[in-house]
Amino acid sequence: MKSIPFVLSISLILFTLSSCKKSNPAGPSGGDQIWPLKVGDSWTFTITQYDSTGNVTATFPYTYSVTGDTVVAGETWYLVSNWGPYPCTNRDDGLWEMEVSISGIFQGLLFKYPANTGDAWWSGADSVYVQSTSASITVPRGTYTCYEYLLFYRSSLVVDYYYCPGTGWIESDWYATTSTGQSYKRHHSELTSFTLK
């Protein structure tokens, strides 16, 4: 397995190269939002956790639900349970996330949509890279054509997210680093059911 520093180095190179890339963006295929959000929407996953040697340590169901909304400066933001204290909203260029801290309010583009393979950007201190716009992903709920986003967190955690336009989050893999610098899969999520209002 490659170490996180190696992966981060490659991502910075790809980030630099992608700024020169020109191509037509992959347009909406199945929906006009990468993660449709309305109060009452929910997505249930089977979560599998691993130790650093690849052994399964736990498997359990986990649900993300849109539990409420709030208006900030005339724009509706949605609260998603288990997503953290970060309201989200969809704009013309993709899914945005809001972070409120003592230093103020930060709004960042989390998942660009529509996008091109190779697009990269910063969302606060985290970087995001579009690995694919047509990844075929099969989970217990079915097979979906997804955008694949690599999210490089400032904490050295790397998450490989798969989102299907019009349906939302389908699958993800979380990668952590051992004390010796080796990357390993720590967490896998796959969609088992969803409800859209």
Domain boundaries, the chain: 4-195
Between the CA of residue 152 and those of 58, 76, 82, 125, what are the distances in Å?
24, 27, 20, 9
Stronger pLDDT, 124 or 87, i.e. the higher one: 87
Closest CA relative to residue 144, chosen from 119, 170, 111: 170
What's the rounded Cα separation, in Å, for the pair 27 and 34? 11
| pTM of the complete model beyond 0.85 | no
Token pair in block for residue 164: 């299907």
Distance CA 11, CA 155 (A): 15
Q: What is the pLDDT of residue 12?
A: 37
61-95 pLDDT, tens per residue? Answer: 999 999 999 999 999 999 999 998 899 999 999 99
Q: Name the residue among 70, 74, 85, 73 with its Cα closest to residue 37.
A: 70
Question: So what CATH class is 4-195?
Answer: mainly beta
pLDDT over 90 (residue 15): no
φ, ψ at 30 (rounded to 5°): 105, -5
Would you give the DSSP letter of residue 35? S
